[in-house]
Amino acid sequence: MAKIQMKTPLVEMDGDEMTRILWKIIKDELIYPFIDLKSEYYDLGLEYRNETNDKVTFDSAYATQKYGVAVKCATITPNAARMTEYNLKEMWKSPNGTIRAILDGTVFRAPIVVKGIEPCVKNWKKPITIARHAYGDVYKSVEIDVPGAGTAELVFTGEDGQVIKETIHKFDGPGVIQGQHNIDKSIESFARSCFNYALDTKQTLWFATKDTISKKYDHTFKDIFQEIFDNEYKEKFDAAGIEYFYTLIDDAVARVMKSEGGFIWACKNYDGDVMSDMISSAFGSLAMMTSVLVSPDGKYEYEAAHGTVQRHYYKHLKGEETSTNSVATIFAWTGALRKRGELDNTPELMEFADKLEQATIKTIEDGKMTKDLALITTMKDVTVLNSENFIKAIRETLEGMLAE
């Protein structure tokens, strides 16, 4: 069978530990045999980031701006222990943070739904995608431990000398204060990323805040979303047969529980932090979650939602067998290949991505899976495969499907 040709390279960001091992097996078994892969390779493994003073991370993000589509392996975010383990020159920043800042993007996370891995919420039939705003609010707040009686004020001093002042509280005794901010530009980017992604995936978009209580702060989020929607997206949404709607956060939470899924839920930073953990654990596991960073001007970076699975890697290094789930990493590849195919008008590439996803799901539904899934499945008598054999089993399913 002739290999599928690509027109434009994918930006490929290699990573660390167990996911780096999986990365190579996935390419050897599921990509190279079928696609004449064109990729611009960046090694984001910690050793090479250290060697290049992290320049490689920046370069990979610039390449993503240039080509439009990237696929990323999980990477180590250094902490004190990693400083000694890898003999680092500096505690390099999180690559995801660096790439997100350059692309100014929003992260969308969605579960991969498989029969036999049932969500805890029994009426959830389709995935729920969480879009989390990744700037500001409590994550960039300043706080004061109030020592005793006194007056707390909120003061803005304009560059033109204008002063706006509000009394927060007249304290009779000790307490606490917090000052949060956000910027219109970041909220606008967030809104556009959400609207673009909704159009892209043909899913209705929900957005919720607490604007009834927060009449300026949260209301600004609500207004910016509505204004951008009305001016730039309403007609496109109508044409695609999808909706945008705003509701209060408490109403959204209640509706999500009663829904059957199949929509995007845009969340402010804190809500997204909390709700994405709820959604992923209720759907089954972090190893079955995809994650894509979408910039407001339509650049895409696909990855797995989990980390480098360090514990399994140490077992692997000791020569012990591992059974690490590669599904989210495979779906990062299929997401990127499908998007590349869509942008380049190469339908063969898009079809291949669909087939590889179907083959992955079918392999699990046929009872062949990694240990993490075997522990939570409702299926009886499943076969637990090691990391490599699971990927090989997917290849076998895929070859069968392609031969049909």
The C-alpha torsion from 192 through 198 and 204 to 208, rounded to 10°, is -40
Q: Cα(230)–Cα(248) distance, rounded to whole angstroms? A: 19
Q: Which does 136 bind (CB under 5 to 8 A by kind): Mg ion, ligand NAP, none?
A: none
H or E element: which one contains 259? Answer: none
Residue 200: count other Cβ atoms within 10 Å of its Cβ: 16
Query: What is the residue whose two structure tokens read 């004190």?
Result: 80
Q: Which does 351 bind (CB under 5 to 8 A by kind): ligand NAP, Mg ion, none?
A: none
Q: Does 114 help bind ligand NAP (rule: CB under 6 A)? A: no
Nearest to 194 by CA among 250, 251, 246, 149: 246
Contacts of 376 (CB under 8 A, 6+ apart): 117, 284, 285
Q: How far is the CB of 190 from Mg ion (least distance, A)?
A: 18
Of residues 335 and 341, the one with the C-beta less far from ligand NAP: 335
Of residues 81 and 164, the one with the C-beta less far from ligand NAP: 81
Q: Does 290 help bind ligand NAP (rule: CB under 6 A)? A: no
Query: With CB under 6 A, what is the number of residues at the site for ligand NAP?
Result: 17
CB neighbour class for 161 (10 Å; exposed up to 12, middle 13-18, buried from 19): exposed
Q: How far is the CB of 331 from ligand NAP (least distance, A)?
A: 11
Query: What is the residue whose two structure tokens read 């994550």?
Result: 139
| Residue 374 structure tokens | 């075997």
The string of DSSP codes covering 36-96 is E--EEEEE-SHHHHHHTTTHHHHHHHHHHHHHSEEEE-------HHHHHHTT-SS-PPPHH
Q: How far is the CB of 244 from ligand NAP (least distance, A)?
A: 29
Of residues 6 and 46, the one with the C-beta less far from ligand NAP: 46
Among 39, 50, 75, 360, binds ligand NAP (CB under 6 A): 75
Q: Does 287 help bind ligand NAP (rule: CB under 6 A)? A: yes
Q: How far is the CB of 220 from ligand NAP (least distance, A)?
A: 30
Q: Does 270 help bind Mg ion (rule: CB under 5 A)? A: no
Q: Are 138 and 179 in contact (CB under 8 A)?
A: no
Q: Does 278 help bind Mg ion (rule: CB under 5 A)? A: no
Q: Does 77 help bind Mg ion (rule: CB under 5 A)? A: no
Q: Are 221 and 268 in contact (CB under 8 A)?
A: yes
Nearest to 169 by CA among 156, 180, 154: 154
Q: Which does 273 bind (CB under 5 to 8 A by kind): ligand NAP, Mg ion, none?
A: Mg ion
Q: Does 307 help bind Mg ion (rule: CB under 5 A)? A: no
Site for ligand NAP in 179-238 (CB under 6 A): none
Task: Select the span of 80-88, 163-171, 234-242, 274-282 touching Mg ion (CB under 5 A).
Answer: 274-282
Q: How far is the CB of 77 from ligand NAP (least distance, A)?
A: 4
Q: Does 325 help bind ligand NAP (rule: CB under 6 A)? A: yes
Among 273, 348, 351, 365, binds Mg ion (CB under 5 A): 273
**Which residues contribute to the site for ligand NAP (CB under 6 A)?**
74-77, 96, 286-287, 303, 306-311, 324-325, 372
**Which residues contribute to the site for Mg ion (CB under 5 A)?**
273, 277
